Each structure stands twice: as structure tokens, then as C-alpha cells.
Structure 1
Amino acid sequence: MKTQTLYRPVGEKEMLLIIESGYRAFPPRLEWQPIFYPVLNEDYASEIAEKWNTRDEAGNYLGFVTKFEVLEETVNRYPAQNVGAKNHNELWVPAEELEAFNQAISGTIEVTQVFIGKDFKQTAHAAIENVLFNIKKTHHDQ
């Protein structure tokens, strides 16, 4: 079956939940998050991880770029939405469809980049330490 590569920028809390799933699923959306937004290219995911996640206290000032393969037939259910610049393309997956979307992930979710914000001190999670140690990190000093 054919797949398409997608990306998602996440902070520390969401990364922990991905790790707990065995790198197989994204966590359910919170009550105030009606949409799951995977993006179509790594540059856009990196931009979000660096500019937003590294400034977010709730995500411990960490921005992880995740990469994953999804069955093409599932991806095609969600038309690409452009939300700004030419490369700012994402899918809008309703929160109630995330479980089915997760089941269409082929293989595992991998971390391709980590951005560390200037306010990051440390993590209390060994699993996050392992990711930080094993992935190319970009320190964000703004």
C-alpha cells in the first residue's frame, strides 16, 4: 500500500505521549483542540518547532519535529490547507477521527530534529533525555 510522509512539530508533553505509544500514535486532542494538524513538509514543521515550541513553557521550551508515513488513502480524505506562506500546508483532521488516522500510520513515528529554547533548563524524563541525546539539536538563542 502506498504511503505519504507527513510531519508534526510537538513539545515535550506530546512527545512523551508519543514515546508511551511506542512511537505508533499521536495522543487524543484536548477538549479545546478540535483539529489535529499534521504538516506536509519538514521545513514548515521545523519552522513551527523552532518559532513556537521553543517559546512554550507548557512544552518545556522544546520543539521536536516528527516524521511518519500514513496510508495515502487516509491522507487523501483531508484536502491540504494552505495557511500562510507557499510551504505552509497542513491537513485538518477532526479530533474525533484521530484514532482512525493513527491506525493508518505505517511503521513508527520518528524524531528528525529537536530545537531547544533559551529558557529550557532540563527535563525530568529519561525518555526525553534519550531523544535529546540521540538527535541533532538546534539551540534557539532568541
Structure 2
Amino acid sequence: MQTVTLWRPTGPQELALVEASGWKEWPPRLPDQPIFYPVLNEDYATRIARDWNVKASGVGYVTRFAVEKAFLSRYEVQQAGGHTILEYWIPAEDLAEFNRHIVGTIDVIAEYRS
């Protein structure tokens, strides 16, 4: 099975929910969060965690995880800015299925604090 490595910048509340899942899944989106945005490179995730999550909550984390490539093929990569600002837009209603296609665990690879 082929996988795609993805990253996700996150704050402490979301990370606590990931930890409560046994590091296996992302929590359901809140009503004002219709899209789940995993990103395709560590640098982009780092910039968001460091520059946005730290400002919002005092700490930002970069996570890394793998997803089955065949599952991800139903979604297009979105360019959200410059040529390295790449992400998937997973509708909130697809997140439970997305979680079932995570291979292994969601790992914290960096932490940033104010």
C-alpha cells in the first residue's frame, strides 16, 4: 500500500483530542470549520504553527502522519498561495472516512511557544 505523508499545524486543544484518540484520528470539525486542511510539506506546517497557532494560543505544534494514497486520489491538491503552499481540502463530512485511511499514528514533530 502506498501512502502520502501529510503535516498539520495544530494548537493545544485539537492536539489534546488527537492524543485522546490514541494518536489515531483528527477530531470532528466545529460548526464554523467546514474543511479539514492537511498540508503537503513540513515548512508550510511550521510557518502556520509558529506564526498563527502560537499567536492564537501560546503554543503551536507540527504533526506528521500518513494516509493511503488511493484514498487521497479522490481529492485535488489545492494551491493556497505560493508554489509551496499546498494542501488538501477535506470536507468535514468526509473526516471520519479520512481518519480510517490514516496509516500508523499522528506524530508531533515540532513544538513552538511564545
**TM-score scaled by structure 1?**
0.79
Distance in 2 (CA, whole Å) between partners of 1:80 and 1:42 is 15
Alpha-carbon displacement from aligned partner over 1:104-141 (angstroms, at most 9, x marks no partner): 00000000100112xxxxxxxxxxxxxxxxxxxxxxxx
- Looking at both structures, which has the greater relative contact order when contacts are Cα pairs under 8 Å and sequence separation is at least 6? 2
List structure 1 segments (4+ residues) > 3 angstroms apart after TM superposition. none
Decide which structure has the larger Cα Rg and report it.
Answer: 1
Instruction: Report what 1:27 is aligned to.
Output: 27
Q: CA deviation at 1:75?
A: 1.4
Q: Which moved more, 1:97-106 or 1:75-84?
A: 75-84
Distance in 2 (CA, whole Å) between partners of 1:64 and 1:26 is 14
Report which of the two has the higher share of strand: 2
Q: How does 1:19-98 map to 2 (within 5 A)?
A: 19-56=19-56, 60-98=57-95
Distance in 2 (CA, whole Å) between partners of 1:8 and 1:77 is 19
Q: CA deviation at 1:52?
A: 0.2
**TM-score scaled by structure 2?**
0.98
Distance in 2 (CA, whole Å) between partners of 1:55 and 1:74 is 34
Distance in 2 (CA, whole Å) between partners of 1:105 and 1:78 is 15
Instruction: Report what 1:109 is aligned to.
Output: 106
Distance in 2 (CA, whole Å) between partners of 1:68 and 1:20 is 16
Q: CA deviation at 1:13?
A: 0.1
Give the gaps of 5 or more residues in structure 1: 118-142
Distance in 1 (CA, whole Å) between partners of 2:97 and 2:29 is 13
Give the gaps of 5 or more residues in structure 2: none
Q: How many residues align?
A: 114
* CA-atom RMSD in angstroms: 0.6
Whichever residue aligns with residue 62 of structure 1, its letter is V
